[in-house]
Structure 1
Amino acid sequence: MDIASLRAFVTIADQGSFSSAAERLHLTQPAVSKRVATLEEELNARLFDRLGRGVRLTEAGAVLLPRARRILAEVADGCRALRNLTGIVTGSLTLATSHHIGLHRLPPVLRTFTTRYPQVRLDMRFMDSEVACGVVLRGEVELAIVTLPPNVEPPLEALPLWTDPLVIVAARTHPLAQVTRINPQQLSEHSAILPSEATFTRRIFEAQLAQLGVT
């Protein structure tokens, strides 16, 4: 079971097809297929079901995937530790973040980072905060800069970086815009555009309203 075959397997699982995985790995599709075939032969198990142009993990593939991620993460960590003995930080950093944070918060931070560590290759992936926490748990990325979930449970670790205020915005012609001081109950009397129910921001907002007795 070699690292190249495991990396091909994980990339196919992430990308959903052999062709997309080959493109991401900068390999030909036959080369990727051969690596997976070698792995399947060694394990005596089929890892993917072919579905048209896409693939789906078999039961054996689903069992192997989290273990393969851990192996690749350990190998990458070991290589990084050895490189860092030289005092020069190199390698890659895979980072997940939301579009809002990526556009409004990260540009100056990333500019400083790339200036300080020019030999580190950044791989940024944009997604909702909830999805980003999931990919960190699965080992698909090394860290995520996101809206913090209401509750952070192990094995995730969270470090608050800044506070973003949540505010309610209304048009100048809206009835509430004419009120000097708004009580929470008044908010429940008007329709509002809110983030999706699945988002951390929505959960935080509703939790605050619930504390004020507004449902």
Structure 2
Amino acid sequence: MDLETVRTFVAAADAGQFQEAAAELEVTQQAVSKRIATLERNLAVRLFTRTPRGAELTIDGQAFLPHARELLRVAERAVASVRTGRRPLRIDVLASRSAQSGLMRGFHRAHPEIELDVLMLFDIETAVAAIRSGAIDASFRAVSVPGRPLPEDVESVRVLDEPLQLLTGPAHALAGARSVTLDQLAGHRIWMPGIVPGTEWAAYYDDLTAEFDLTIEATGPNFGSDALLDTIADTPALATFMGEHTRLVWPADHGLRRIPITDPTPVYPHSLLWHRDNPNPALAVLRAHLATAAAGHGAAGTWIPRWAAPR
């Protein structure tokens, strides 16, 4: 059904005259008559009765009018849903309890007028494809994986260096330490069952273990953060890495310890990725917010893989 004919019908019904409807629509009276005739032909009913006073709705016209109005309202909502600045800003974060999610919560508090649609994509290839197709506006990632640079039409800016901490149970040999160095971690078993080969976080930890002679075990199924915390609390031989801004809650009797890592402090480099031609004004607001509200990066005494530096 042609929406222009429906819009013309509603205008004529409201005006009660084809001439006034033509003036409102900025078309000729003949165009209004042709559109109404086309609509009547498609519906196989008469919508108006012509009278000396103008045009009056028939019974069928009266029945069709509220549905015609709803058709126009639905069409307007459909257009508004994709109009620049009107649809939600769609942002990909790695996990709901991650530092990235915390950055977006801060943005929402600062700009509650901007509607958000936050989702979680698994790997960087999926995220970049979604950025290039327009399915999402931006993604938080570690920029790229070695040997797989970002496409030229995808921009990036580093927004947060998140320090890693050591998480231990109460009986672990390092549980009483105020801080530990990376050299002190050599020989200790770091258990991280969530590492998936081929992901950017797997590449990050591969470089970390290679450079500092660490042992990270990714064995066993990944049953989620609760199971990880239970195991770390109950197993003195195991510890794990956790981002400083990762928000997790565990029972008080677990006795878990977050221990800062120094000399150097390994940091996970969070960056924002977006398509260089994205016109959504809310994306510019997000970028400006992150530039002023997010923590800095590149501090002395920190470590990141060489490949993670933004181009």
TM-score by length of 1: 0.46
Q: Please identify which structure carries the higher helix content.
A: 1
Q: Greater strand share, 1 or 2?
A: 2
Rg larger for? 2
